Structure 1
Amino acid sequence: MPVGIQSIFEARPALDGVMQGDKPRMDRTMMAQPRALVRALAHARMVALTATAALALHGVAAHAQTQAQAPAPASTQLHAQASSGAQAPHVNLAFFYGSRVPVGELQAFDAVVIDPASGFDPAAHPLRHTVWLARTHADAAQGRPDAFVAAQIESLWQRGYRGFLLDTPATIAAVDAIRAAHPDARLVIGGDAALQAALPYSKALYAVIGPSIVRDAASGNVAAAERDARIAAAQQFTQTTGVPVVSIETCPADDRACARATAAQVLAAGVMPYVTNASLNAVGIGAIEVLPRKVLIVQDSDEDLPLDETPGVRDLATPLNYLGYDVEYANVHEPLPEGITPDRYAGVVAWLQGDETPNSGAWRAWVDARLAAHVPMVFLGQFGFDAAEDEGRALDLQAVAGPFADKIEVVTRDPMVGFEVDPKLGTRDLTGVQVGSASKSLLRVKSGEATLDQIAITPWGGFAMSPYTVVSLNGIGQERWAIQPIEFLRQALRLQPMPSPSVTTENGRRLFMSHVDGDGFASRAEFPGADYSGEALFQQIFTRYKVPMTLSVIEGEVGPKGLYPQISPRLEEIARKMFALPYVAIGTHTYSHPFEWENVDAKTGERIDRGGGDTAFSLNIPNYTFNIDREVTGSIDYINSRLAPPGKKTTILQWPGNCEPPAIVVRKVYAAGVDNVNGGDTVITKSANSWTNIAPIGVLKGPGAYQVYAPNQDENVYTNDWLGPFYGFTRVLETFDMTDKPLRFKPIDIYYHMYSGTKVASLRALDQIFAAVLKQPVLPVHMTDYAHKVLDWRSFAVARTVQSEASNAKSSDWIVRGNGEVRELHWPLTTSPDLHASRGVTGYAAGPDGTYIHITDGAARVSFDTLGALSKADALPYIAEANGFVRDFKRDGKNMSFEFGSYYQPFVKLANAQTCSATVAGRAVPLQRDGAYVRFDTPALNALEAHYQPVEIRCER
């Protein structure tokens, strides 16, 4: 009997056998130990009845908050069981009964129990590796089991739940009826005396919730005698039935140390833990701990300043993205968000530039609440309150009285200070604080008798006061970081190295894409041989370089109802033939190409007339009044109906103008069923050498409104706004190099406009750029592939395994989960994965900034060979590099099988495979030596979709 998605942990033979109908083995087991099991369960019930009754986690969530206590010392029996090698079947099960379900974090678990009363819609959040289970309610379990199935189970199944928690006698009695209606449903039994109640149904169960072993919601620490009895009963039940027992333990929501230690104790007992808060509305710790990958940036920006132009987006988000963290934004002038808790947020960074913060008392209260919840916090520029007052002592700060009028001398200075610029510190810049002994000063200065700290790492986070953030170089219109932001944020927010999802690389090769905005499609070519820019590009670029590329048009420039109806037939003819190229994806550049998106009302989406005339806002199309739907869905419908060949549709909208659309417009694009890209200003070059010139991955404008930024900027920037030199776009090769080494910030994107087809110099520049890029180890992809990776990156789950108290492991394994779009991990160290112990890892390759690990189908368990103990004789073959995509990877000893597809010049390079053979689609292919590797090539198709073929690598005969 199938049980659905399998756990990422090691296989559970006993449970799998039960669920697949291994009746003879189960029957023999039940006959061998029934009396011992019944006695153990009865004893456990007697000593724990009060606790299990109070532990309403199995029915109605307990609301009594547990007092913060250290986990009770492990009992003698617990240690004895651990040392005897007791191993529980793994079940990666979580429980969440809150209203704001953190889908991204919870996808690290195989199954999650949700309270349907929260309003959560599982059908809107399908996960590739996780199933949603519904907590059932006793009030609906009246009458016969089939009536309960009809009344509650069927509606929950239709909503997208694929399993159920049954925790009352009436609901448990419906197990057989549920199984008959939905054989694949995952069933979990809980409630009072759950182990006894589950016995008759054990063959149908996914897991059973036993009583708490270390800490429960009612009484805190479980007494040693009760604990030993509960452990014995849980282990006896699992050994007899093969069904894992989960122990729900409680710690305060903000005490992750308590949860971590408690989970380790339960694991040592051979039971599966889930440690959460009493209300079950936090991401708990089980056999794994999910690392939060979100950081909140709080700014004091002016209301009229678009979010895209704030320093949090322009400068700060990029180093956080590089470290693997997604960013959300808040404004200190507006109500600040609640729910910023350590299970969901890695930290808060407040970048305040104003001299004063209105209502600084409320701001300080919000900060204190975050610090009390153990959320690391960093202040940049200013604190926003008087941190030198007596209450600042809670921050390990001491007041230093001013004014400071004497010469400033540096006492101590960390190497990360003065990263790109070393600002001259004036006495007016000084913040009158000095850190205490629990903190580490990064910049200590003296002014007369006063000693002050302007940058520090503190017990709660850290701070860098103005001007030691980003310094504006007004003379040349650029900015520079005064402190190394990546290392500073890593230390201040306590960000540990993790295998983070990568949107820059796949299978060891840097991603490469190209997209073209439609501007200038109606422009005449300034040389013989082609009439319009699009025709020139078609002849010299689009058909010469048969790589994935996304081309777009502006309907108001090309269409018959636009600016140029007389030449529209010819322009449409060119557009049709370029869209018909098999490797070209279709984008829209809107209908009228709005330039200034701040002139669109953020609430209504209507145009705001700020003066300047129609031409200052968009193309001045006769008889047209701006309308969002016309810009988005209207232009998509036009392209699909008049320009796209059969079988092709518009797949992406490429933002025009200043690329700063409000959230309401971004949501319209998602509602239209297409992706979006453009914006951001990645223009770093040798003459503009600063990380401030590298844009983040994108920006969250609001719920459901994430704008994907272009990986780098277009030729307009490199040609002085198209004033010349028109070969200037070749300097983008500097950008490509500087966003790759020493740190790989970005993939490669050759991004330009149709007007680049008007001049000989710009066409030659494009030719040089394409030729240079294709000589590099790149993996060509479509822009939509990249956009999908970005969205997957945002919700991608990274977790580490929890080591039991008795474990001798030197380090934790890592569990990573996504929807399958991201298939590469960036490990910032040089250690390599242990392929013997890892699962879902296809290979790895050294990169400029660490190790890039290839994974398959969006999920893996990664173990590292930290001691370098594996010998060459034990080395397994693996994929070192591939110019394509790998899916459905399987390893059998030293043999491998997978499906492989590519858009352009596909090949696979294998390590440790000199004696291996390969077949593709059942046909033997030669393996060619390539240094220390061997490789094979497959035919290129140059199609819009990758064509996958089965590959077999045989290394054992």
Structure 2
Amino acid sequence: MWRRRWRCIALWCLTVVGLACSPAGAAFAQAMPSIAFHYGDRPPVDALQAFDIAVVEPDSGFDPRQLSTPATSWFAYVSVGEVLPGRAYFKDIPKAWLAGNNDAWQARVVDQSAQGWPAFYVDKVITPLWQRGFRGFFLDTLDSYQLVAKTDAERARQEAGMVRVIQAIKARYPDARLIFNRGFEILPQVHQLADAVAFESLFRGWDQGKGRYVEVNDADRAWLLGQARTIREQYRLPVIAIDYCPPADRRCARETARRIKALGMTPYVADPGLQTVGIGSVEVLPRRVLVVQERRQGLSIDDSPGVRFVSMPLNYLGYRVEFAETRDPLPDIGPDRYAGVVVYVDGNVTEQPGRFVSWIEKQIAQGMPVVFMNDFGASVTGSLARTLGLKPVKGRVSGPVEILARDPMMGFEMPVAPDRTQAEAIQVPERAGYRSLLRMRSGTLTYDAAAITPWGGYVLGPYAVRQNSSNDQSRWVVQPLTFLREALRLPDMPVPDVTTENGRRLLTIHIDGDGFASRAEIPGGGFSGEVLFREIFDRYRLPMTMSVIQGELASDGMYPKLTAQLEPIARKIFAQPYVEVASHTFSHPFEWGRTVPGEPASEGRNVEGDEEFHLAIPGYTMDLNREIGGSIDYINRRLAPPGKPVSLLLWSGDCQPPAQALKLTAQAGVLNMNGGDTLITRSNPSWTAIAPLGINKPDGTFQVFAPNQNENVYTNLWHGPFYGFERVIETFELTDRPLRFKPVNIYYHSYSGTKAASLKALRKVYDYVLTQPLLPLHATDYVRKVLDWQDMAVARELPAGDGGQGGAWIVRGDGNLRNLRWTGNGVPDVASARGVTGTSPAPGGGVYLYLDGGNARFAIGAAPAAEPAVQLAEANGIVRDWQRRDGVTTFAFSGYYKPFFRLAGAGQCRVSVDGKPVQGVRERNTLRVDTAPITDPIHVRQRVEVHCAG
């Protein structure tokens, strides 16, 4: 919690121009990293990692040891001059050391001159935080002693005590980084121990007593600027200025931050409680969209329209989707973290409709874009009509309907078919910000069924998605990408992309263990695992992820007499260097909703198996711990080779695990995947048949969906034709053009090894992918990319001038996702970029940017400022740690399968791999170098050096 400061007499001899033009100050400002402050209960790591330094409240439960954010240093907020009674160490402070109160913040002022205070502070405050992984500390309340010290002598004693505290911190922890909040009076003695100095309220402040925002007067500002000049020029330290604006007023924060930055200081502007993500040297673009829906009783969230229809387009646009139910209290969200709200409901909200309407009005009032799809959830009358600016029209739609005007985005996958069943008699006004997308007429009544509005937009049913129950197919009537981009006012931004890397579409292969115990119906017979190993796995030797069901193989399963034959087959497969080990559970639950009492079971699904909703294993009663942790332990003990444990759990049956199951996979230390139902084919060519990346379950757990679906759905649930899986090639092609929505994923079951037709289809699919420019990876590599995608920060550097359009882009993650998609105006400047190795065209327009890790910075220009001497044109492998210096480009490279890289701009260059010269091949105006495959390219890398003449 911030403490307010005391204003001092202004020093009018200082001018703002003098500070801004200071050469020393400009140099330090350039060196100062970006910084954010967040004191909320759950610091949003996904957004805060865009900053170089993030200061958090340690009592929020935040643990820096649990994070993978290599570009961000996490500082702990600590109060020196005051203590709140709620702090854990408060009870241990001798009462004699408490010298007074700060009533505005209900805090006690500590006597800094107390003899034991420095040692106490290090032992009780700093050491526990150091043990938790904090290596930086933001020292607040450095001048609170002025509340109790009334004479010069008293102030001198307090200042001397505070100096001893800071010296004690550095004596115990010399590597500790310290940022002071003010403390101007003691800087002459301790400035050499500080990394930077901060102060509050340069332009805009907060009056805690009156609970209001205030404009800082010229006198106070001039005094602060004088202090800033001394800090920068005399002590040669960076200066941080923290100001305050209403959290919903992003324009205020942006303009204030620009004013601070123009003075050569590091800005941060947020709400006075520092509960939201503010704007500093960089502005983080919110990448979350909240989908509000009302599910009918018994419908799982996996089958809801928010997951089936809305999530995929938002994912493609770069946005993580979270869900809320109208029956529950709707969450408190803000524009610092959420890009907008999508409401997808059928008819009016049934539970507490007034609460729903009030919440919608609140979001629009704070500038949050809101989109309604299918229905408004309430009658557009009264206050809601006024909020939306829509005009209810007298009368009702009752006769034949005709189209008066239609925007090109309407009629995307099927023509607009006039329909009055969900018609709403409303019109958009003829004024700026409103644009009808679909104007209809029924008799003399004219109404607008879809529109873009100043607050967002709407498209009413059935003009969003038309669902056909007779063939279980759906079609987008509105172009979802165009509509959502316009209605939510989504800006151009570099989109994290999990489909591609280094110019090549990704390929993963994973096998569910079903049927491992089945015998092949082909000449020679044998178990399906034997046949697959001989005919597919060892023939192609592509990286793949293999799973087994414990209940099929183990002696306590369905076929104990076959265990001695089946387990050696599994061991042989798992021992192959290209095979990743996975579990497909103990008993293969068919309906996961029934594994936990109280969870809704799937509705309307044609599930396989018996009435017990899992394999009929003698004597077995459903136990989630045995399904997940138990099966993993069995595989690790009995089947997996040493040092190669289970790394993934593949969901079975309906692939709709409850939160408890997802948590158990995390506790077991494995990743999870499956589900999603990407089924687009030429007989069902709709984007509604493309699944999102995964699903955020209501309790915060996340399930990663498989990129494609398995042969079961291409063979009519394994009733034939058994060659049907060859149609997955249609899915691969339709998820690549006109836009690339998915990587290539060959996903099938062990029972595909039992029939000649299914084996032939598999070979056809494998042969097809080998003709494509793909980058083979393991399934866990893909899962980690999706998890990184979830939490990546996309930010833009703040320009110093008032009229700037934004500086360079900053994108940060944990380094697993190494591809961005840019479709805005201009082209990325690779020559001046950091963390960007090259670019290539993206399907549908725009470019892919290749990253070498989790920290990229690049600018967009009308044309490249200069061509880099060397850049990556393409690679069938993983590129890390790309560096250019003095005509030498170095990077780490490795790949699973036939790895190679091609370099552009390397015409006069020599290449070495691990210190040995290699001879490249000239190919398409590039230099191609093939290297040896690596079993574990994530951790084992070859060092490449490229020396270029001149």
When normalised by structure 2's length, the TM-score is 0.89
C-alpha distance in 2, partners of 1:537/1:120? 47
Query: Where does 1:1-400 land on structure 2 (aligned, <5 Å)?
Result: 45-47=8-10, 77=17, 81=21, 86=26, 88-89=29-30, 90-137=32-79, 138-139=82-83, 143-167=116-140, 168=142, 173-191=164-182, 194-218=183-207, 220-338=214-332, 340-389=333-382, 391-400=384-393
Q: CA deviation at 1:110?
A: 1.4
Q: Which amino acid aligns with 2:875?
A: A
The CA deviation string for residues 290-343 of structure 1, in whole angstroms up to 9 with x for no partner, is 0111111011111310111001101110000000111111111222222x1100
Match of 1:61 in 2: none
C-alpha distance in 2, partners of 1:879/1:776? 19
C-alpha distance in 2, partners of 1:91/1:200? 24
Aligned pair in 2 of structure 1 residues 533, 613: CA closer, same or farther (>3 Å)? closer
Look up the SS of the partner of 1:47 in the other structure: coil
Match of 2:104 in 1: none
C-alpha distance in 2, partners of 1:135/1:355? 46
C-alpha distance in 2, partners of 1:840/1:202? 34
Q: CA deviation at 1:932?
A: 2.0
737-746 or 890-899, which deviates more: 890-899
C-alpha distance in 1, partners of 2:326/2:232? 53
C-alpha distance in 2, partners of 1:803/1:166? 29
C-alpha distance in 1, partners of 2:11/2:693? 52
Tell me, yes or no, if the aligned pair for 1:830 and 1:851 is still in contact at 8 Å.
Answer: no
Q: Which amino acid aligns with 1:919?
A: S
271-280 or 424-433, which deviates more: 424-433
Look up the SS of the partner of 2:539 in the other structure: coil
196-205 or 410-419, which deviates more: 196-205
Match of 1:12 in 2: none
Match of 2:518 in 1: 523
Query: Where does 1:786-801 land on structure 2 (aligned, <5 Å)?
Result: 786-801=782-797
Please tell me whether residue 803 in structure 1 is matched to residue 803 in structure 2.
Answer: no
Aligned pair in 2 of structure 1 residues 810, 465: CA closer, same or farther (>3 Å)? closer
Match of 1:693 in 2: 689
Please tell me whether residue 759 in structure 1 is matched to residue 748 in structure 2.
Answer: no
Q: Which amino acid aligns with 1:842?
A: T
C-alpha distance in 1, partners of 2:403/2:496? 40
Please tell me whether residue 911 in structure 1 is matched to residue 907 in structure 2.
Answer: no
Q: CA deviation at 1:710?
A: 0.3
Look up the SS of the partner of 2:643 in the other structure: coil
C-alpha distance in 2, partners of 1:956/1:797? 38
Q: CA deviation at 1:145?
A: 2.2
Q: CA deviation at 1:911?
A: 1.1
Please tell me whether residue 576 in structure 1 is matched to residue 576 in structure 2.
Answer: no
Aligned pair in 2 of structure 1 residues 900, 172: CA closer, same or farther (>3 Å)? farther
Look up the SS of the partner of 1:617 in the other structure: coil
C-alpha distance in 2, partners of 1:485/1:944? 38
Aligned pair in 2 of structure 1 residues 199, 693: CA closer, same or farther (>3 Å)? farther
When normalised by structure 1's length, the TM-score is 0.88
Look up the SS of the partner of 1:683 in the other structure: coil
Aligned match of 2:931 in 935, 938, 942? Answer: 938
Q: Which amino acid aligns with 1:243?
A: L
Look up the SS of the partner of 2:280 in the other structure: coil
Look up the SS of the partner of 1:566 in the other structure: helix
Unaligned runs of 5+ in 2: 1-5, 84-88, 90-109, 143-158, 208-212
Look up the SS of the partner of 2:286 in the other structure: coil
Number of aligned residue pairs: give it: 883
Q: Which amino acid aligns with 2:635?
A: I
Query: Where does 1:803-822 land on structure 2 (aligned, <5 Å)?
Result: 803-805=799-801, 811-822=806-817
Look up the SS of the partner of 2:540 in the other structure: coil
Q: CA deviation at 1:207?
A: 1.6
Aligned match of 1:545 in 540, 545, 549? Answer: 540
C-alpha distance in 2, partners of 1:493/1:234? 41
Aligned match of 1:417 in 388, 399, 410? Answer: 410
Q: Which amino acid aligns with 1:178?
A: I
Unaligned runs of 5+ in 1: 1-42, 50-74
Aligned match of 2:664 in 663, 668, 674? Answer: 668
Q: CA deviation at 1:553?
A: 0.7
C-alpha distance in 1, partners of 2:542/2:372? 45
Q: Which amino acid aligns with 2:404?
A: V
Aligned pair in 2 of structure 1 residues 831, 757: CA closer, same or farther (>3 Å)? farther
Tell me, yes or no, if the aligned pair for 1:423 and 1:471 is still in contact at 8 Å.
Answer: no
C-alpha distance in 2, partners of 1:895/1:602? 62
Look up the SS of the partner of 2:489 in the other structure: coil
C-alpha distance in 2, partners of 1:171/1:602? 58
Q: CA deviation at 1:196?
A: 4.3
Q: CA deviation at 1:607?
A: 13
C-alpha distance in 2, partners of 1:704/1:406? 47
Tell me, yes or no, if the aligned pair for 2:798 and 2:806 is still in contact at 8 Å.
Answer: no
Tell me, yes or no, if the aligned pair for 2:895 and 2:933 is still in contact at 8 Å.
Answer: yes
Match of 1:682 in 2: 678
Look up the SS of the partner of 2:560 in the other structure: coil
The CA deviation string for residues 254-282 of structure 1, in whole angstroms up to 9 with x for no partner, is 11111011111111111110000111111
Query: Where does 1:472-487 land on structure 2 (aligned, <5 Å)?
Result: 472-487=467-482
Aligned pair in 2 of structure 1 residues 204, 846: CA closer, same or farther (>3 Å)? farther
Q: CA deviation at 1:126?
A: 4.8
Q: CA deviation at 1:116?
A: 2.1
Tell me, yes or no, if the aligned pair for 2:502 and 2:874 is still in contact at 8 Å.
Answer: yes
436-445 or 937-946, which deviates more: 937-946
596-605 or 445-454, which deviates more: 596-605
Q: CA deviation at 1:86?
A: 4.2
C-alpha distance in 2, partners of 1:917/1:47? 63
Q: CA deviation at 1:473?
A: 2.1
Aligned pair in 2 of structure 1 residues 160, 727: CA closer, same or farther (>3 Å)? same
Tell me, yes or no, if the aligned pair for 1:82 and 1:269 is still in contact at 8 Å.
Answer: no
Tell me, yes or no, if the aligned pair for 1:600 and 1:606 is still in contact at 8 Å.
Answer: no
Look up the SS of the partner of 2:242 in the other structure: strand
Q: CA deviation at 1:823?
A: 1.3
Tell me, yes or no, if the aligned pair for 2:361 and 2:384 is still in contact at 8 Å.
Answer: no
Aligned pair in 2 of structure 1 residues 831, 771: CA closer, same or farther (>3 Å)? farther
Please tell me whether residue 827 in structure 1 is matched to residue 822 in structure 2.
Answer: yes
Tell me, yes or no, if the aligned pair for 2:593 and 2:602 is still in contact at 8 Å.
Answer: no
Q: Which amino acid aligns with 1:97?
A: Y
579-588 or 592-601, which deviates more: 592-601
Tell me, yes or no, if the aligned pair for 1:900 and 1:948 is still in contact at 8 Å.
Answer: yes
Tell me, yes or no, if the aligned pair for 2:238 and 2:265 is still in contact at 8 Å.
Answer: yes
Tell me, yes or no, if the aligned pair for 1:512 and 1:749 is still in contact at 8 Å.
Answer: yes
Look up the SS of the partner of 1:146 in the other structure: helix
Match of 1:28 in 2: none
Q: CA deviation at 1:606?
A: 12
C-alpha distance in 1, partners of 2:594/2:245? 50
Q: CA deviation at 1:702?
A: 3.3
Aligned pair in 2 of structure 1 residues 178, 492: CA closer, same or farther (>3 Å)? same
Aligned match of 1:440 in 432, 435, 439? Answer: 435
Tell me, yes or no, if the aligned pair for 1:77 and 1:228 is still in contact at 8 Å.
Answer: no
Q: Which amino acid aligns with 1:695?
A: A
Look up the SS of the partner of 2:457 in the other structure: strand
Query: Where does 1:764-779 land on structure 2 (aligned, <5 Å)?
Result: 764-779=760-775
Please tell me whether residue 881 in structure 1 is matched to residue 874 in structure 2.
Answer: yes
Look up the SS of the partner of 1:370 in the other structure: helix
196-205 or 575-584, which deviates more: 196-205
Question: CA-atom RMSD, angstroms?
Answer: 2.6
C-alpha distance in 2, partners of 1:86/1:635? 60
Tell me, yes or no, if the aligned pair for 1:606 and 1:627 is still in contact at 8 Å.
Answer: no
C-alpha distance in 2, partners of 1:241/1:739? 58
Q: CA deviation at 1:242?
A: 3.1
